[in-house]
Structure 1
Amino acid sequence: MNILLVCSAGMSTSILVEKMRAEAANRGLEATIDAIPESLLKEQTNVDVILIGPQVRYLESKIKSSVSVPVAVIDNMAYGLMKGDQVLDQALGLVQNA
C-alpha cells in the first residue's frame, strides 16, 4: 500500500510519517508512506490513498477532483498528538471503504 501525506512544507508531517512507518512495521504491513508538499502532488504515481494535513485542509476539494484515489483530511487530534497508529488506521479505512 502506498500512502501519501500532503502538507505545506513537510516538517511536522515528516514526524508523523516516521510514526506511521513504525506502526506499519509493528503490524507487519507492507506500506510505503511519504509526505510531500502540495506543489509536488502532480508528479506522484502509484498512490493508494492521500491524507491531507489539517493546516492545508482547504486543498481537499482541489485534490479530490484531480485524483482517483481516496482523499481525506487527517484527524486534527491524531495529527496534533502525532498518533501514527490512528492516522494509519484512517488511511487503511479509506482504502477498505473505497
Structure 2
Amino acid sequence: MKKVYLFCSAGMSTSMLASKMQETANAHNLPIEVKAHPFDKMDVIIERDHPDCILLGPQVKYLYNGAVEKFGSTGIPIGLIDSGDYGMMDGEKVLKFAVKLIKEKKK
C-alpha cells in the first residue's frame, strides 16, 4: 500500500481533496492510502509513517524549498499541488500527479 500524504496550513481544505483522491484510488482498485495533515505536524508524521509521496497545498507553497531541504534526503518525492487542480478539487488529476512522482522516484 502506497501512502500519499497532503499537507496544508491546517489540513482542513486539503482533507476534501484527499477524500476525492481516495475515492479515485478505490474506484480503480489502486493500493493507495491518501491522507491530509497540517504542515506543522510534517516532521512527526514523516518519521512515524514514512509516506511514499508528499504533496503540499497551494497555500503552503512558500514552504516547499524548506521541505525539500529537510526531507529530500529521505528519498520521498515532494510535489506542489497545482492551484487550479486544488481549486477544482480534481482528485483524479492530483492522484495521477502523485503516482507519477512515485514512479519517477523508482528510476
TM > 0.5? yes
Name the aligned partner's letter for residue 77 of structure 1.
G
1:91 counterpart (82, 98, 104): 98
Deviation at 1:10, TM superposition (A): 1.6
Post-superposition CA distance 1:49-85 (Å, at most 9, x none): 0000001100101111121210011011110000000
What is the match of residue 52 of structure 2? 48
More helix by share: 2
Name the aligned partner's letter for residue 91 of structure 1.
A
What residue ranges of structure 1 are gaps of 5+ in the alignment?
none
Identical positions, percent:
37
**TM-score computed with the length of structure 1 as normaliser:** 0.96
Deviation at 1:31, TM superposition (A): 1.1
Matches within 5 A, 1:12-91: 12-44=13-45, 45-67=49-71, 68=74, 69-91=76-98
Asked if structure 1 preserves the Cα contact closer than 8 Å seen for 2:5 and 2:34, the reply is yes
What residue ranges of structure 2 are gaps of 5+ in the alignment?
none
Deviation at 1:15, TM superposition (A): 0.5
Runs of 4 or more above 6 Å deviation: none
Kindly tell me the number of residue pairs found equivalent between the two proteins: 98
76-85 vs 59-68, which moves further: 59-68
Post-superposition CA distance 1:2-54 (Å, at most 9, x none): 00101001221111011000000011101111111111011123210000000
